[in-house]
Amino acid sequence: MKPGLVCTDFDGTLTTEDPTAPLAPGFFDWLQGVRQKNNVSWVVATGRSWEGLREALLHHQAPVFPDWIVTVEREIHRVEGKEARSVEKWNRTCNEVHEALFGRHGAILERIEKEVGCHEDVTVIPDVGAIGLVVESSDGIAHAEKMVREILKDRPEILTVRNGPYFRFAHADYHKGSCLGHVQSLLDLGPETTFVAGDNLNDLSMLTRRCGHYLACPSNSHEEVLAQVKREGGYLARAPGGIGIAEALHYFFQ
Ligand SMILES: [Mg+2]
């Protein structure tokens, strides 16, 4: 079996804690090797903006740029050369949906800002049309998570997107999983030829068999990610970051 689509998160999945380490050499070797015979598209699905991702790819001297990117966990762009071209129809609707959502729930966001943001470990930041939270300690994260869940308990349309210390708010229909689904529909590819890898809570929406039949996570993954990938029949790599992802690709696609 050959993959048609490889979708990876970026931070913690291709990168490791060490900013000076080369970026996932085994991953790029695998991708460039398989592309000599097969057409394989690479999607990066990240919480970063395009500018942030581009800077990181350049900083790490990535030998290849992705073909598609999902930025801020909900916008889709096609990459041509080293430039991103917005998938206009998706992004326009995404924008309208979020403007309406944050307009309807302004009071709820204010409550989060006031009641969760007053905690000493929590910093409230402006974040793609709304507010986001950055929480310092693991105790602070657990506390903020509990409070946010309580405030949003009757608002199923608001999704809390968690990634390490970051809390972002989004419409429940927009996440890495639905964005990957849209890229698959544009490429006319299904889960049976899709590989997906991620390490953190914001990757859970795409680490499902509905999105890809080849799922993987590096050894440094969040415990909920490890548990879900295992449950979904995916591969738990022994190595961290991009080394682990190369290990998973070799496991699935000899
Ligand atoms: Mg990550």
C-alpha 72 to ligand 1 mean position (Å): 12
pTM of the full predicted structure? 0.96
Q: What does the alpha-carbon distance between residue 15 and residue 19 come to, in Å, rounded to a whole number?
A: 8
> What is the rounded end-to-end Cα distance, in angstroms, of the chain?
9
C-alpha 16 to ligand 1 mean position (Å): 10
Count H helices and E strands in the chain, helices first: 8, 12
Write out the chain's pLDDT in tens, 254 residues. Answer: 789 999 999 999 999 888 788 899 899 999 999 999 999 999 999 999 999 999 999 999 999 999 999 999 999 999 998 899 999 999 999 999 999 999 999 999 999 999 999 999 999 999 999 999 999 999 999 999 999 999 999 999 999 999 999 999 999 999 999 999 999 999 999 999 999 999 999 999 999 999 999 999 999 999 999 999 999 999 999 999 999 999 999 999 97
C-alpha 48 to ligand 1 mean position (Å): 10
C-alpha 222 to ligand 1 mean position (Å): 9
* Three-class SS state of 87: coil
Q: What does the alpha-carbon distance between residue 212 and residue 54 come to, in Å, rounded to a whole number?
A: 25
C-alpha 13 to ligand 1 mean position (Å): 5
Beta bridge partners of 71: 75
Q: CATH for 5-73+175-252, among 3.30.1050.10, 3.40.718.10, 3.40.50.1000, 3.65.10.10?
A: 3.40.50.1000
C-alpha 221 to ligand 1 mean position (Å): 8
For the chain, the structural domain boundaries read: 5-73+175-252, 102-171
C-alpha 107 to ligand 1 mean position (Å): 30
